[in-house]
Structure formats: structure tokens, C-alpha cells
A and B are shown apart, each in its own frame.
Chain A
Amino acid sequence: MRAPPALSASAPRNGSRDSVSGALRRSASSSSTAAAAAEMSASSAFIDEKGGSASEPEYGHDPASGGIFSTDYKRHDDLKEMLDSNKDSLKLEAMKRIVAMIARGKNASDLFPAVVKNVACKNIEVKKLVYVYLVRYAEEQQDLALLSISTFQRGLKDPNQLIRASALRVLSSIRVTIIVPIMMLAIKEAASDMSPYVRKTAAHAIPKLHSLDPEQKDQLIEVIEKLLADKTTLVAGSVVMAFEEVCPDRIDLIHKNYRKLCNLLIDVEEWGQVVIINMLTRYARTQFLNPNVNESLLEENSEKAFYASDDEEEEDKKAEPATLAKRKPYVMDPDHRLLLRNTKPLLQSRNAAVVMAVAQLYFHLAPKAEVGIIAKALVRLMRSHSEVQYVVLQNVATMTIKRRGMFEPYLKSFYIRSTDPTQIKILKLEVLTNLANETNISTILREFQTYIKSMDKDFVAASIQAIGRCATNIGEVRDTCLNGLVQLLSNRDELVVAESVVVIKKLLQMQPEQHSDIIKHMAKLIDNIQVPMARASILWLIGEYCEHVPKIAPDVLRNMAKTFTNEEDIVKLQIINLAAKLYLTNSKQTKLLTQYVLNLAKYDQNYDIRDRARFIRQLIVPTDKSGALSKYAKKLFLALKPAPVLQSTFKDRDHFQLGSLSHLLNAKAAGYQELPDWPESAPDPSVRNVEVIRLLERVTTLTSIPDWSKCTSRKDRKEKKTEKPFYSDSEGESGPTESADSESDSGSGSESASASDESGSGSESEESREETESEDEEEDEEKEKKRKKRLDKTKAKKPAEESAESEQSSGTEDRKRGRKAVKNQKSASESESESESSESEDESEEESEEESESDTDIRKKKMPISKQPPKQSKKESKKERQEMSLLDLDDFEPAPASAPVTPVNFLSSSLVSDLEGLSLTNNILAPTAIAPSGSIKMYELLHRITVHQQHQLRDQKPAHRGAQAAVWDEDPRVHRDRRVSSR
């Protein structure tokens, strides 16, 4: 990598420092800084005054230079000396002390120059601690931080993948804007590294760079796109994380990777799983139809149809046509099913976050009948730490409002223990209340009775409210609850009584006629209860139902008028209300009292109360000027008021994605991605197809285009293509849920036609986008080629257009001419492969064994092709391609497993070197036959070649049925399973 100009800013300082410091220190400072200095002092053009002066004082207090130092600087002199020493142990000791300072939050930034020069220390622990320091303070000491960059740049080229990864990790963690281009370059490079671990680190680096410089977004999206195509489990979680932070709205990037992500999911590390599942939930909401869409309609229909909705999907389909002939029956997209099926085992994860993620996915995406399975897992989580419980209960509370039946069997798991923290108790209470229905209310009320005796008064208050809610929701127990609450009125604890009063008031509003004795009882309580809310509630009740208690009401008003000035505002307002209502119904007795109260209120300190008094006086006291309204005063005040509905605070919380921070807070958190509504009609499902037609096309591009950084991703995509039949393999397992015949018919029939068009245009637009952003000419050229090829392909499909279009496109380059012929042949093979794949899919749904065979066939077919030496002169390419297509056809025959002919060393090395001259790009793909030329470039290439081959190995694996089980990152479990079962 060339050092970008930005770097040279540090050069002069580096040099000058070295000259200032003594020989001893020079030897201590790493060879790297020296090298960097030497290299950079050459570019002396870049001396900026500011940087130089800024660094000056720091050297000033260096003991070696013997400058003037302030006491503050003196403080760390011993540390500096230790850092400058020769001994690693001293350095380590110093670094440990510094890190301890950082940990305590002490400022250690003045040690920066002394620390940073140890960045290339041989001792690993010193180095690591220096990294810790560097990442912490680089932002504050941007100029000096640049000194360390060259070390990392060198690390990026290290043959050891772990060193490459750690170099990238630290480099990308240094928040210094000036190195953005270096980071960008490093990330791009690492994204096509042979090591999945380095690629993972690259994925981690993406959000770092994005937060440092959001303007790099477009380039970063390109990298994300490339990494999304990566098919190792190591990378998947990290890149989706990057996707979520950088471009969560670019759902189009997911299409092609959707099935792969679903299939890799179980083997991704747990943190990645959470991120992927959350993202896929959103994705599925935009791409699939609501599985419960028929629910409401069916409920209105005959009972038969109603039950059908509860059953599996295909029954749905079969049973419905009679009743819903005109409606299109709902058929679950196989991809939707794939997601549900592949996430289900994760409910068994030990990680609560994963379980929660799956639970919310099922809640938001699954058909009603299937959501139930998450209840058990969520109940299991309740045994975990109280913080986990807290979050889970919040989500359960929301779920119970929507789907009560799901948790009913687990009612007892929500019973409250006296040792639960109060916040947990209250949440459990919420859940219990939501779960209450006619059948279980008696047990729940019995539980509540014990809760009321608890010592935790906040919890008792919440229990009383819960009883009130049960009473309003379930008519049968209203009287029982009311009686129970009235008994509580004689409780010794005032808070309990007050809470009961408030709840009783709400309940009485529902049927006041029958309960005048309760109202009387409560009127008596007003002398004893001091809690304002309760007093206000009682007053309101007496006022509202004063006709039920005609004797008591005026007396209460009399008492209240006495204490009016000492009451709380909320009570005062209710006294005014009571007075007004009594004035209207019983003016004989209360006229004077009312006027007295209104006069008191007129001079109250609170202007709400003054306002209210003035307003009411105008309204009820007849004067000459009084308007038309006063005639209706009685109607206004004593209108029948609707009883309050006691609602759960968790109602409607489910518009936030469950399990999210926003849901927990019931407020939109920064960066929250709305959960989209289901689409009315499903977007084209074929966008997720990765079909065989494109495979062949890709193979040709692969052979003719040697740019490897491109090729890796393309290869990955190509591998995806074969995944379609591969996935149907797993689909076979759950056979009964999908109706085999009807679905695959519609799927393969309609899709294969539309899909090929779609994919063509889709990737074309993709290409054009890329093109605008690409800087390399080579890339452009290559893309042009690709596009042409695609054009060719469409030509093959539509012979009518073919000639005209081919003329156009082939005018630019003669290369294609030969290709066209090949193309035609190929299109034949294409169509054949297509039909084959769709066939295999059909079969697969019945028999997975057969399927996997066809699967391997396709893989075999692909393998030899990708091994073709890619660099060809034009004439040769034609010849080769013909050969290749023949090969293809060959492979479509059910050949024995050992059959594939792999022309590995197809080209002699001399020919390759010839071709090298003809190459259009710098990066040459050489067959393994070429001896490494010794240059670094070549070295890297070889790396990539090995990657390539390893990729191929991986492809081969399914064919060999686990024979090479532990190769690379394929899941060991799967293979072991296979091995064991074959045993």
C-alpha cells in the first residue's frame, strides 16, 4: 500500500523527534518508526507549522532534552523514564500503571508521545496496552497518533491473519479523520482477504469509519454489499451489524443473501444471531404477506372456515375455496416459511437476547396458530437474572394483550413471590391481569387476595388497581371485587384505603344505582382519609350521585366548606364541583353553602381554581345577564358520563418492534427502525432467487475477467445460486406444511420466467450503480464486458431482438463475436439446467435424498468450470468456452460422482505469462502452475488463489458427504452429524 499524503504530515516530526532524542532512545524506539521516519522525511514538502509547534512542548519536557517542565508534567516523569527504558518489564510496569489510570478515569494524555513510540514493541502485552492507550487518546492527540499508523499499515500486510486483523482493528479504532482514506483502503483490502476472520474485522471496521466520516457511506455500502455475499458464519453477524448501522434502509442488498442468511443463522455466533434476526424481521415485513390476513374475514364466515385458519397453511388453502372462492387464498411464501423454520431452534439458545429476538420474530411474522411456541421459551427466561426478567415481562405484557391464549397455560409461572423486586412484581401483576378471563378469574382473585396482604405497599396499591381492572373487564366478578374492595376500606393502611377508593369510584360509575350504600359508606370515610386523590374521588362520587344520597351530600359539602382552604387543589376543584351539582339539584339546602364555597374559591391562590369558580358561578347562578347556557346547566353537569375504561399501559405498545429499546421505553429511541406494515400485495419473490441461469453467465465472466477482488464476490454469488435447490433440501424436512404440488408449480413456473428477466435487470442496475462509483478503469471495462454478456444472454432468449441488439453491442468490441455462438449453445444448456433445477425442487419436497443428489450434480457442474483458467486471448476464449459449455452439458447428465473433469493445469505457465501481457488489469489470476514471481503482488495473488481453491473445496464437500468434514468454517456439528448418522 502506498502511504497517502496525509501520512507524511507526521514525517518531519517523527524525524525531528528522533534527532532530538538521544541514541539510547533511538535504539529503544522501534525500527518501524525509524523506517517510517526515513521513508517520510523524504516527502519534506509537507511540513506544516502548526503540527510542528504543537508537538514541540511535548518534546520539551522529555528528560533527555532537558527542557523546562511544569510541575504537572513532572508528575509522570517516572513513567516516562520507564517507557523510555530498554527493559520490557519496566515498560510493561509503566503501561500497567497508565492503564490503571485510564480505568479510574484519570487523564493520562500527556504521556502520549512517550507511549506511542512503543507501539511496535516486541512484547505482546506492552503492545496491547499501548493499543488500549492509543485508541483512548488518539482522538485528543491526532497529530501524534499518526506516528503509529505505519506500524499498523505494515501489520495489514502480515502473512498471519490474526496480526492483519488486529492491525485493522486498532487502525480503524483510531478516530482521526485524517486517516480516513487509509482506513477506507484497508477496509476494502480486508474485505476480500482470504481469512474470514480478517473479513469479519473489516465488517467491524465499517461502522467505525462511518461514524468517523459519514461521507464515506457510499463506498462503505459497496463493501457491505460485498461482505453480505460472504458465506461464512464468522462474517455474517458482523456485516449485518454494519448494515444496520450504516444503511438499514437498503433492503435491496438483502434479497440475494436472504436465503443464505436464513440457512447460516443457526451457526452464527449468538450476538450476530440477534442482529440478523432483528434485521430479517424487518425484511420479512416488507417482502411477505400478512399470514393472518384472512383472520378477521374468516371469523365472520362459517365456523368451518374459522377453524381452517387455525390449522396449517395448506389446509387453509384447501378448505377455503368453497367459502372464499373469490378471494385469493393466502399461501405463505416459501422464504417466509424458511425464516420461521430456521429461527425456531434458536428458541433453545442459552442467550436470552437470542430467545427474545426469535420470540419477537414469531410474534410479528408467524401465523397466529404458530406463535404459541414462543411462550414456553419466554417463560423459561423468567428464571434468569432480574434484569432479564424485567425486559421479558415487559414484552410478555405486550404480547398478552394481543394474544392472551398463548400464555394462559403458564399462568402460574407469573405468580408473585414476596422476594421479587417491586418492579418485577408490578409487571407480573400486569401480566396476570391481562391473562384474566372468566375461567381463571377465581384463581387469580384468590392470588390477588394474598398480594393485598403484602408488606410492600406500592405493590399492594398496584394489586388493588389490578383487581379494579379485572372487575371492569369481567362482568361476572364485578360485585365480588367491589365487595372485596369495600372491605379494604377498613384497612389500617391509608394508602390501601385511598387506592381502593379510587378504584371503587371507577367501578361504581358502571352501575351506581345498585350501590348507594357503598356511596354512603364512602361518604363517611371522608373524615378519615387524607390522601387527596381519594378525597377527590369520594367528593366526585357524592356529587355525581347526589340524588342517591340526598341527605348526606349537603352535609358533606358543609364539612368540606369548613376545611376548604386547607385542602389540596385537586380536592378543592372537586368541592366546587360538588357544590355546583348540589346547587342544581337541591338548591334549597345548599344555595348559601355553594356561594360560600365559590367565594372562597374566588380568592384562592391557584388561578385554575379561581377560573373554575368564576366559570361555575356564571353557569349556575341565574343572573340577568346569564346566557342561554345556564338553562342547560343541569344537563351539562349531570349528564350521564361514560364509565372509564381501565386499560393496560401496554396496550398498543406492539407498534414498536418487540424486544427493542423503544418498546421498553414506549418511546422512539434514536436510530430505531420502524417495523413496516405488511405490504398489500407481496413484492416479487423472485428477487431472492439465485438461479442457475446466472450461474452460467457468471462462470463465463469468471473465466474471462481476472479481477479477483471482483471475482470472489461473484463467486460467492454464484454459489448462492446453487443454493436454491440446496435449500429446498431443507424444505423437504417440513414437507407437510407446504403443499408440494401446487406451490412448486406456481413457484418454478412463474418465477423462472419472470425471475430471469428480473435478475437481469436487477443486476444491471446494480452494475450501473457500481460503475458510477468505481474509480478504476479496469473495473469499468470489466463491467462493460459483463453487461454485454448479459445482453448476449437476453439475445439468446429473444431471438427476434437478438440481431439488432447484438450488432449494437458487438460493434464496440470484436471479442464478443465468438462468444455469441457460445451463448446460443449455452442458452440451451441454461434452459435445461433451469428445468432440471425446478424439477429437482419438486422432487426434493418429497424426498430429500434424491434432492441432495441433484444438488451435488449442480455443484459438480459448477466446479470444473470455475477452475477454468480465466485469462484468455480472444480466440482462445472462444475455443475454451465451447469446451466449457460442452462440459456443462456433460455434467447435467447424472454422471458418477468421480466424473468431473477438472482441467486444472490447463494452461502451461509460459502461456500464462504470455497472457499476462494481454491482461487488462493489474491483478492477474494465474493458475497454480505459475511459479511465484517473488513480488508482493504475486504473493497476494497466490493467497487468493488458495482461497479460491478452498472455496471450491467447500463446494465439493456436499458431494463427498462430509468426507472433508472439518475443512474451514462449515459447521462442524452438521458434518459430525452426518458422519455419525452414516456410521
Chain B
Amino acid sequence: MIHSLFLVNASGDIFLEKHWKSVVSRSVCDYFFEALERATEPENVPPVIPTPHHYLINVLRHRIYFVAVIQSEVPPLFVIEFLHRVVDTFQDYFGVCTEAAIKDNVVVVYELLEEMLDNGFPLATESNILKELIKPPTILRTVVNTITGSTNVGEQLPTGQLSVVPWRRTGVKYTNNEAYFDVIEEIDAIIDKSGSTITAEIQGVIDACVKLTGMPDLTLSFMNPRLLDDVSFHPCVRFKRWEAERILSFIPPDGNFRLLSYHVSSQNLVAIPVYVKHNISFREGSSQGRFELTLGPKQTMGKAVESVLVSSQLPRGVLNANLNPSQGTYTFDPVTKLLSWDVGKINPQKLPSLKGSMSLQAGASKPDENPTINIQFKIQQLAISGLKVNRLDMYGEKYKPFKGIKYMTKAGKFQVRT
């Protein structure tokens, strides 16, 4: 399975290596660097690179390449999924997953990697088990450790691996018992020139933050579970119960976790909460272009559209843009030709607009490609698919937990073609 792992930073230096079987020379990464050079964009490095004796499988997260070396047939997704799980774990432990954070915590990183794989085969990847084995570094603990000389490694033996619910650590205790669920939906859409929807789908997740004492057994039911016909679950969810009753029944892991994610496909009707009026044109023979953009709310169920951010990759021929926003601020990077406009909240009474002119390279012909407009926004207290949690019940423990549900709709890959 996974032979070795190299972490490569944006400038192409290997700053960490770990081997689970015999040592593979880091020169194997030369093949990766070659591919890196060939790729025009950082994300265009092929995820799987064959070399004479090994195969390199890499993922790019937080501008760090995680390059796994494998020697024989293994499902590539197996390795890719695992590498992403490693990144998630680092993020969970250090808050961020940057080169600096990894270098600062190199010992913890090493201990984690040691526990996560045995001979290249995943051993403990559940964050609850890992946290039992290796305590995440906090500022307080670092101070305490330096004074008392105690360690980050859990003193008691990690029984989680033996437990019937491997995702939950044992002996959890809280004074305030609380369970929060965030229903977050992202709209992926492509809107064409005329404003009609080409494709739109909703990608939803329910993220949970559960801090409950003991071994609580939760059930979560929905008002309209029929919406969820394409779901994937955290392993704690009892699948049979879902199949039979459409109720989520589970013993939650401790802390933050993703309970389920769902997908409302393009076959369903998806409400599009914003519309864009645009007029981006270049005149033949002139070195000027017109740029007009107006945003407006639509189908928002009375909720405000917030944190709106518009960005667009303008054609290469554009030298500069001279625009005038009715609200918010805009920036134009003349090197990358990226225009971004931080709109903020959309006021339905006074629609935000961005108007002005673009100057083109003198003598250059009119660019024949049209920029696409990417939009980001947030709508609080609304799940655009209409999903609603009915109730949350707890069994197995006596206390009364504090429960909270939050809804949010965001733009995912929301694109308007012009």
C-alpha cells in the first residue's frame, strides 16, 4: 500500500518525509517535480504519476503537495482519500494545515502518521481515536508540558480502537451538554448569458458539534426526508434505520464531525437566489470596453443575501479597468486579470451595481472570449432545498442536553456566463 509520504511546499522543497516500509530515496520526487514543471497551473499536476519503479499519487491542499509513493497496484482513490484524511486530521489538530504549522509540530505530525498507517495500510483514521492516542497541542498544554515535563501522548491506553463504537472516545464528560447541528447548503449553478439556468444542484451537509457526556444515542428526524435521496453518512449512522424509517439514529463522535452530506441533483428544481444583469462588451477597433454589472435578489424566501463577492477573470487583452461600484469595493489585478468586487449585503431597494470601462491593449484585436462571473454569497437561516429538521431526541443518558439547529445557504460553484 502506501510506501512513503513526502510533503512538498509551493516552492518545490521537500520539507517532511515519512516511510512506512523500507526507505525510498527522495530522488523519486524528481518525477513529481518534472510533472509540476510541465503543468501550467498548480492544480493541473496529474494526481497519479507513474515512474519506473513506483507510482506517485499526490493531492494538493493548502498549497502543500502530499506525495504518496506506492509500489504496486492499489486503488488510487484509496490513497487519495487517505491523504485528504491526513490533511483533515492535521487541520483538526493544528487549526491550520500550513508548512509552518507542520514544521512547528513535526513530532506530533510524525506520531500521527505513525498511528494512521501500519505498514502502509490505514490503521486509525478516526479523529476521536487519534485524539485519545495523541493529544492535540494547545497553548495551555504546551506551557504545562514545558513546566511539568508531561507529554502529548495519552497516558492511559487508547481503548477506543477496541470499542464497539470506534469513532467515539470513552469517558467523555462535560458540564454543559450541548449538541449543535448546522445544515449548510451550497448551490452549484451555471447561468447562461440570458439568465436562464443551465444546471443547478444543491450540495448539502449537516455538520455537527456534539459535546455530550457519556454514550448518548441520538435520533434526528426531518420534516421532509424525501429530499434526501442521495446521501452519504458518517459511519456512526445506522443505515438500516434510515432505510426503514428515514430517521438518523446514531451514537455521535465527540466534538465536530460531518454527520451526513447530501446532494439534490439537477433533475430537481433549484431556486436561484440571485440574478445578475451584465453587459460586458468590446468594440472592434477601439481600445475601450464597457463593463456593467447589476446584482439583485430573487427567490430568497425573504432572507437577506449577505457576504456577496463577485469575481471574474477578464480576457488577457484587458489592460486596466476603471469601474465605479455603487457599494462595496473592487480590485483589479492587472497581472492575473482578475477582477473581484466585494459587494457585501444586497439591499433590494437599491441594487448594487458596478459600471465603468476597461482599457484594452492598444492595437490588439477584440478578445473573442467572454469572461465568466463567479459569485459567492451567504443566506442565513435558510436551507434553499427546503430541508427542515423535525426533532432531535436523545436516549441512553439522563441529562437534558442543549440543542441547536442552524441553517445556511451558500453559493458553491456559482457561475454566470456572459
Decide if B361 is an interface residue (CB 8 Å cutoff). no
Task: Mark out the residues of chain A between 416 and 461 whose CB falls within 8 Å of any chain B CB in the assembled complex.
Answer: 417-419, 421-423, 447, 450, 453-455
- A103 and B18 within 8 A (CB): yes
CB distance from A163 to the nearest CB of B (A): 8
Cα–Cα distance between A464 and B44 once the two chains are bound (Å): 21
The stretch of A42-50, A541-549, A660-668 in contact with B is: A660-668
Decide if B46 is an interface residue (CB 8 Å cutoff). yes
> Which of A169, A418, A671 has the largest number of chain B CB atoms within 10 A?
A418
- A660 and B16 within 8 A (CB): no
- Nearest neighbor of B231 in chain A, beta-carbon distance: A348
Cα–Cα distance between A388 and B74 once the two chains are bound (Å): 15
What is the size category of the interface that chain B forms with chain A? 35 or more
Decide if A311 is an interface residue (CB 8 Å cutoff). no
- Nearest neighbor of A269 in chain B, beta-carbon distance: B166
Report if A418-B415 is in contact (Cβ < 8 Å); known contacts: A241-B121, A271-B78, A669-B55. Answer: yes
Cα–Cα distance between A790 and B111 once the two chains are bound (Å): 52
Contact of A661 among B55, B60, B111, B155 (CB under 8 A): B55
- A385 and B107 within 8 A (CB): no
CB distance from A360 to the nearest CB of B (A): 9
Q: Chain A contact residues: over half helix, strand or loop, or mixed?
A: helix
- B74 and A976 within 8 A (CB): no
- B81 and A351 within 8 A (CB): yes
Chain A residues with Cβ below 8 Å from B213 are none
- Nearest neighbor of A98 in chain B, beta-carbon distance: B107
Report if A124-B151 is in contact (Cβ < 8 Å); known contacts: A103-B18, A356-B77. Answer: yes
- B164 and A208 within 8 A (CB): no
Chain B residues with Cβ below 8 Å from A419 are 374, 413, 415
Chain B residues with Cβ below 8 Å from A269 are 122, 166, 235
Q: Chain B contact residues: over half helix, strand or loop, or mixed?
A: mixed
> Contact string, A111-146, partner B, CB cutoff 8 A, digits 1/0?
000000000000111001101100010010000000
- A353 and B78 within 8 A (CB): yes
Contact of A356 among B74, B75, B162, B368 (CB under 8 A): B75
Chain B residues with Cβ below 8 Å from A169 are 118
Decide if A72 is an interface residue (CB 8 Å cutoff). no
The stretch of A406-414, A558-566, A739-747 in contact with B is: A406-414
Task: Mark out the residues of chain A between 707 and 756 whose CB falls within 8 Å of any chain B CB in the assembled complex.
Answer: none
Decide if B352 is an interface residue (CB 8 Å cutoff). no
- A422 and B44 within 8 A (CB): yes
Chain A residues with Cβ below 8 Å from B413 are 417, 419
CB distance from B281 to the nearest CB of A (A): 14
CB distance from A411 to the nearest CB of B (A): 9
CB distance from A817 to the nearest CB of B (A): 47
- Nearest neighbor of B190 in chain A, beta-carbon distance: A415
Contact of B203 among A356, A383, A670 (CB under 8 A): A383
Report if A270-B203 is in contact (Cβ < 8 Å); known contacts: A132-B110, A391-B47, A973-B240. Answer: no
- A388 and B80 within 8 A (CB): yes
Cα–Cα distance between A22 and B324 once the two chains are bound (Å): 81
Chain B residues with Cβ below 8 Å from A204 are 118-119, 121, 123
- A966 and B121 within 8 A (CB): no
Chain B residues with Cβ below 8 Å from A349 are 232-233, 235
Decide if A92 is an interface residue (CB 8 Å cutoff). yes
Cα–Cα distance between A738 and B130 once the two chains are bound (Å): 45
Decide if B71 is an interface residue (CB 8 Å cutoff). yes
Decide if B40 is an interface residue (CB 8 Å cutoff). yes
- A413 and B265 within 8 A (CB): yes
Chain A residues with Cβ below 8 Å from B28 are none
Decide if B84 is an interface residue (CB 8 Å cutoff). yes
- A410 and B265 within 8 A (CB): yes
Task: Mark out the residues of chain A between 325 and 363 whose CB falls within 8 Å of any chain B CB in the assembled complex.
Answer: 345, 348-353, 355-357
- B75 and A353 within 8 A (CB): yes
Chain A residues with Cβ below 8 Å from B157 are 160, 162-163
Decide if B34 is an interface residue (CB 8 Å cutoff). no
Cα–Cα distance between A476 and B40 once the two chains are bound (Å): 38
Task: Mark out the residues of chain A between 940 and 980 whose CB falls within 8 Å of any chain B CB in the assembled complex.
Answer: 966, 968-974, 976-977, 980
Decide if A278 is an interface residue (CB 8 Å cutoff). yes
> Contact string, A159-174, partner B, CB cutoff 8 A, digits 1/0?
0111100000100110
Report if A125-B232 is in contact (Cβ < 8 Å); known contacts: A269-B166, A418-B415. Answer: no
> Which of B17, B119, B316, B369 has the largest number of chain A CB atoms within 10 A?
B119
Decide if B141 is an interface residue (CB 8 Å cutoff). no
Decide if A99 is an interface residue (CB 8 Å cutoff). yes
CB distance from B2 to the nearest CB of A (A): 11
Chain B residues with Cβ below 8 Å from A125 are 151-153
- A238 and B198 within 8 A (CB): no
Chain B residues with Cβ below 8 Å from A660 are 73, 75-76
Contact of A454 among B14, B84, B369 (CB under 8 A): B369
- A417 and B190 within 8 A (CB): yes
- B16 and A980 within 8 A (CB): no
Cα–Cα distance between A104 and B249 once the two chains are bound (Å): 45
Cα–Cα distance between A139 and B70 once the two chains are bound (Å): 20
Cα–Cα distance between A161 and B243 once the two chains are bound (Å): 37
Report if A977-B369 is in contact (Cβ < 8 Å); known contacts: A266-B239, A412-B266, A670-B72. Answer: no
Report if A350-B235 is in contact (Cβ < 8 Å); known contacts: A204-B123, A390-B47. Answer: yes
Decide if A387 is an interface residue (CB 8 Å cutoff). yes
> Contact string, B12-25, partner A, CB cutoff 8 A, digits 1/0?
00111111011100
Task: Mark out the residues of chain B between 403 and 418 whose CB falls within 8 Å of any chain A CB in the assembled complex.
Answer: 413, 415, 417
- A455 and B315 within 8 A (CB): yes
- B78 and A387 within 8 A (CB): no
- Nearest neighbor of B78 in chain A, beta-carbon distance: A353
Decide if A879 is an interface residue (CB 8 Å cutoff). no
Report if A345-B80 is in contact (Cβ < 8 Å); known contacts: A99-B110, A455-B369. Answer: no
> Which of B59, B77, B151, B188 has the largest number of chain A CB atoms within 10 A?
B77
- A355 and B232 within 8 A (CB): yes
Contact of B73 among A409, A673, A968 (CB under 8 A): A673
> Contact string, A376-394, partner B, CB cutoff 8 A, digits 1/0?
1101100101111011100
- B114 and A128 within 8 A (CB): yes
Chain B residues with Cβ below 8 Å from A2 are none
- B43 and A386 within 8 A (CB): yes
Chain B residues with Cβ below 8 Å from A195 are 162
- B155 and A383 within 8 A (CB): no
Decide if B251 is an interface residue (CB 8 Å cutoff). yes
Report if A977-B238 is in contact (Cβ < 8 Å); known contacts: A204-B123, A423-B44. Answer: yes
> Contact string, B142-175, partner A, CB cutoff 8 A, digits 1/0?
0000000101111101110110111000000000
- B155 and A422 within 8 A (CB): no
Cα–Cα distance between A843 and B123 once the two chains are bound (Å): 42
Cα–Cα distance between A100 and B122 once the two chains are bound (Å): 23
Decide if A89 is an interface residue (CB 8 Å cutoff). yes
Cα–Cα distance between A968 and B374 once the two chains are bound (Å): 52
Report if A96-B162 is in contact (Cβ < 8 Å); known contacts: A105-B14, A391-B76. Answer: no
- B43 and A421 within 8 A (CB): yes
- A348 and B232 within 8 A (CB): yes
Cα–Cα distance between A197 and B267 once the two chains are bound (Å): 46
Chain B residues with Cβ below 8 Å from A92 are 149, 151
Chain A residues with Cβ below 8 Å from B154 are 124
**What 4 pairs between A and B have smallest CB-CB spacing?**
A671-B72, A412-B199, A89-B149, A125-B151
- Apart from A102-B110, A353-B77, what are 4 other A-B pairs with CB-CB below 8 Å? A348-B232, A383-B203, A665-B50, A973-B241
18 contacts between A and B (CB under 8 A): A129-B111, A132-B110, A136-B19, A162-B158, A172-B119, A196-B162, A271-B121, A350-B234, A350-B261, A353-B80, A353-B82, A380-B232, A390-B47, A412-B198, A415-B198, A418-B313, A973-B238, A974-B240
Interface, chain A (partner B; CB < 8 A): 87-89, 92, 96, 99-100, 102-105, 123-125, 128-129, 131-132, 136, 139, 160-163, 169, 172-173, 175, 195-197, 201, 204-205, 207-208, 211, 238, 241, 266, 269-271, 274, 278, 345, 348-353, 355-357, 376-377, 379-380, 383, 385-388, 390-392, 409-410, 412-413, 415, 417-419, 421-423, 447, 450, 453-455, 491-493, 659-662, 664-665, 667, 669-673, 966, 968-974, 976-977, 980
